[in-house]
């Protein structure tokens, strides 16, 4: 396929590179980042998408997505598919899909899970909203960039799935870190706690696959001084999106709201910015109940 790729940051660059390595013709554009090997640098966003079968975007937030969509949709070929892989608010995803479809284009919102490592390794999971036809068009590209793509429903469903998933992740990581800090103060060895919890009813991805305690379980950012695999500020962004969505549909999400408050304090008032989201553990370890 001929592919346009807008947004070549930490996630977009390896995703675009994997598509190019698989033999697709990829033109890329980013205001600040350079194109990875195999991707042709376009002089503008409009030039990157001209004549493309599929246009992928990986952008920081909904406002920028709306701005970029307004620029590239008029420049896209009729019948092409706009596939946004950013994590944004559901309202922005649906607005961009409506704009694209009104212009005769297919549209998908396809946020990802798997982080920078998954982007490089081609093992991302895509949560996708949009039409069956658009999903079928982009499915071969999802197979190159990731290990799984789930068609979650109509426009906005991909963002809804991502927001709900990461609300669970934020809350479970927070309580996992709390539990390790409590275990320390109770005199329980961390390795023994892991052995119990990882095979008992406290089992979770945060404990078993991404343990926040260094030297325990599989290799994780805690073993690298909490340098981010998934930065705390990105978790904060996703938790904010979850509460914006909850407010919009009048959903009661007290645990999600509490996780948001914790990560807001950690990132904005403490030392969490630039650290992995699992670095809540040393935060709790250094604090008392008050």
3-state secondary structure 185-223: HHCCCHHHHHHHHCCCCCCCHHHHCCCCCCCCCCCCHHH
Domain of 63? 2-154
Shared-domain flag, residues 61 and 81: yes
Shared-domain flag, residues 166 and 144: no
CB 205, CB 169: distance < 8 Å: yes
Q: What is the total count of domains within the chain?
A: 2
Each of the 290 residues of the chain gets a pLDDT tens digit; together they read 999 999 999 999 999 999 999 999 999 999 999 999 999 999 999 999 999 999 999 999 999 999 999 999 999 999 999 999 999 999 999 999 999 999 999 999 999 998 888 999 999 999 999 999 999 999 999 999 999 999 999 999 999 999 999 999 999 999 999 999 999 999 999 999 999 999 999 999 999 999 999 999 999 999 999 999 899 999 999 999 999 999 999 999 999 999 999 999 999 999 999 999 999 999 999 999 87
CB 110, CB 139: distance < 8 Å: no
Shared-domain flag, residues 40 and 131: yes
CA distance 236 to 238: 5
For 252, residues 6+ apart whose C-beta sits below 8 A from its C-beta are 246
Strand, helix or coil for residue 83: strand
Q: How far is CA 17 from CA 1, 9, 144, 179, in A?
A: 14, 12, 10, 40
| pTM for the structure as a whole | 0.92
Query: Final residue of a domain: which of 125, 154, 183?
Result: 154
Query: Final residue of a domain: which of 107, 122, 154?
Result: 154
Shared-domain flag, residues 21 and 142: yes
Shared-domain flag, residues 196 and 143: no
What's the confidence (pLDDT) of residue 116?
A: 87
For 266, residues 6+ apart whose C-beta sits below 8 A from its C-beta are 232, 236, 272, 279, 280, 283
Catalytic residue from among 25, 148, 162, 237 = 162
DSSP class per residue in 148-176: EEEEEESTTHHHHHHHHHHHHHHHHHHHH
What's the confidence (pLDDT) of residue 229?
A: 87
Q: For this structure, is 162 an active site residue?
A: yes
Task: Provide the token pair at 84.
Answer: 């946004």
CA distance 216 to 94: 42
Shared-domain flag, residues 110 and 203: no
Query: Final residue of a domain: which of 154, 172, 202?
Result: 154
């Amino acid at each position: 396929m001929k592919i346009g790729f807008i947004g070549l940051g930490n996630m977009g660059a390896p995703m675009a590179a994997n598509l190019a390595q698989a033999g697709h013709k990829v033109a890329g554009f980013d205001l600040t980042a350079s194109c990875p090997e195999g991707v042709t640098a376009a002089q503008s966003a409009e030039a990157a998408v001209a004549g493309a079968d599929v246009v992928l975007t990986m952008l920081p937030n909904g406002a920028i997505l709306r701005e970029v969509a307004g620029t590239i949709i008029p420049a896209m070929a009729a019948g092409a598919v706009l596939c946004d892989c950013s994590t944004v608010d559901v309202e922005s995803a649906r607005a961009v899909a409506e704009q694209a479809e009104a212009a005769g284009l297919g549209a998908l919102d396809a946020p990802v899970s798997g982080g920078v490592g998954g982007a490089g390794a081609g093992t991302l999971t895509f949560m996708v909203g949009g039409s069956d036809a658009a999903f079928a068009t982009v499915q071969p590209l999802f197979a190159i960039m990731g290990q799984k793509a789930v068609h979650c429903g109509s426009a906005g469903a991909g963002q809804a799935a991502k927001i709900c998933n990461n609300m669970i992740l934020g809350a479970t990581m927070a309580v996992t870190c709390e539990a390790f800090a409590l275990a320390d103060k109770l005199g329980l060895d961390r390795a023994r706690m892991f052995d119990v919890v990882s095979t008992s009813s406290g089992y979770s991805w945060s404990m078993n696959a991404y343990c926040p305690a260094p030297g325990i379980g599989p290799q994780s950012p805690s073993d690298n001084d909490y340098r981010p695999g998934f930065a705390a500020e990105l978790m904060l962004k996703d938790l904010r999106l979850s509460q914006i969505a909850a407010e919009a549909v009048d959903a009661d999400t007290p645990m999600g709201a509490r996780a948001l408050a914790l990560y807001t304090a950690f990132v904005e008032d403490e030392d969490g910015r630039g650290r992995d989201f699992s670095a809540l553990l040393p935060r709790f370890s250094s604090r008392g109940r008050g």
